[in-house]
Amino acid sequence: MIIKKIFIANGPNLNFLGIRELEKYGSTTYAELINTIESKAKSLNLEVELFQSNNEGEIVDYIQKISQINDSWLILNPGAFTHTSISIRDALAIFSLNNKMIEVHISNINEREDFRKINLIKEFSEHSIIGQGVNGYLEALEYINGE
């Protein structure tokens, strides 16, 4: 029996996991990440819906769409938009009125370039998982399952 449906949204360049900057993001491909997330969710009796876009407006549209579903969870890795997107931040402000969000960052954004230390979404995060590689997504699922 499925207990909860979890929405997972990924921002720009996450579709290039396993290809770009292997020293920062590892060798796991995006397809492998999806399979790992789906397998972990199934083992926890969770249902996941995955979304990825390189376009800011599409991410905003997705967050707005799921904000209509009360008491839901979003695992969000907005990639570079973490540091630049006020529109995603504003969409999360709406989402967080009736829902919860966990932010996941594969690399440790706090130990990278100064501009990556700006985090426009943190205040809407129930929980932050930073620098745990792709395992951060699995930790997020476990966190939600424990709620």
| Contact indicator for 126, 101 with CB cutoff of 8 Å | yes
* HEC profile of 21-46: CHHHHCCCCHHHHHHHHHHHHHHCCE
Phi, psi of 145 (to 5 degrees): -60, -30
- Whole-angstrom Cα distance, residue 131 to residue 85? 21
Would you please indicate which residues are annotated as catalytic (active-site) residues? Answer: 25, 105
| Contact indicator for 81, 54 with CB cutoff of 8 Å | no
| Contact indicator for 70, 43 with CB cutoff of 8 Å | no
